Amino acid sequence: MDDRNVAERAEHLSRRRARMLPVLAMLLLIQQGSFFTDHPGADRPVDQLKISAWLVLSAVILLALWTGGSWLQPKRVRELLNDEATQVHRTHAFRVAFLASMMGCIFLYFLTMFTRVETREAIHIILTIGLSAALISFGVSERRALRDHSGDG
Amino acid sequence: MAERLANRLKERRGALGLTQAELAQRVGVTRKTVNTVENGVFTPSTTLAIKLSRALGLTVEELFWIEN
């Protein structure tokens, strides 16, 4: 793949990633919602499967955010997809995620004063808040940077 | 008063007849990064500032300056 093709491929994937990040956050939240609306104690095989799916999705998202993702792409495309501006956006996303997770912890602490919160529920909430915040923040930063393109080629 | 890093990236790039994509290719970043630096949205690292200056045939100080 020559330099021009590498750049074009990275540009295309960068746009697709910016579009997919908020969708992924929404998917995570919907999956989370089903855990709380249909939560009989995780003793049926189907519940175990749902929890496993949620855990796998969360772990993959976390790993992708941490490493930059696009593992199946050639090294040069991956490097471009994770260039300086993207790294700054990712770092900012982790800061936002940390703040959101800490606020989630504070909220849960107060919630336990009024109602019983299971450990698993608390873990679900904090992990989902953190990952969703990171995905949304990263997506917004990327979309803003792409939108500001003057488009001169 | 807040300080910001101003630049003449667009002006110099235009003078050399380069597109954002071509400049991005020369310095090994995406067009998005060149664009955000050009618009003052993103402050580049020293490494990228040096690469951009070299690619445009200027010194870092000629390409970037601090504005109040």
Non-local CB neighbours of B12 within 8 Å, separated by 6+ positions: B56, B58, B63
The ranges assigned to domains in chain B are 10-58
Q: How many CB pairs under 8 A join A and B?
A: 67
Question: Who among B19, B25, B32 is closest to A85 (CB)?
Answer: B32
Round to whole Å and give the CA distance between A37 and A24: 20
pLDDT digits (tens, 9 = 90+) for A94-147: 999 999 999 999 999 999 999 999 998 899 899 999 999 999 999 999 998 888
Round to whole Å and give the CA distance between A139 and A15: 10
- The predicted complex's ipTM stands at 0.84
Residue A19 sits at the chain B interface (C-beta within 8 Å): no
Grade residue A152 by pLDDT with cuts at 50, 70 and 90.
low
Supply A100's token pair. Answer: 């959101």
A10 CB neighbours in chain B (<8 A) are: 30
pLDDT digits (tens, 9 = 90+) for B15-28: 999 999 999 999 99
Round to whole Å and give the CA distance between B44 and B30: 13
Give the nearest chain B residue to A2 (CA atoms). B25
Grade residue B2 by pLDDT with cuts at 50, 70 and 90.
confident
Domain for residue A15, yes or no? no
The answer to whether the pTM exceeds 0.95 is: no
The CATH architecture that domain B10-58 belongs to is Orthogonal Bundle (1.10)
CB A97 within 8 A of CB A137: yes
Domain for residue A54, yes or no? yes
Grade residue A39 by pLDDT with cuts at 50, 70 and 90.
low
CB B48 within 8 A of CB B27: yes
Q: How many domains does chain A have?
A: 1
Which domain range does residue A29 map to? 20-147
Give me the pLDDT at residue A43, please.
Answer: 67
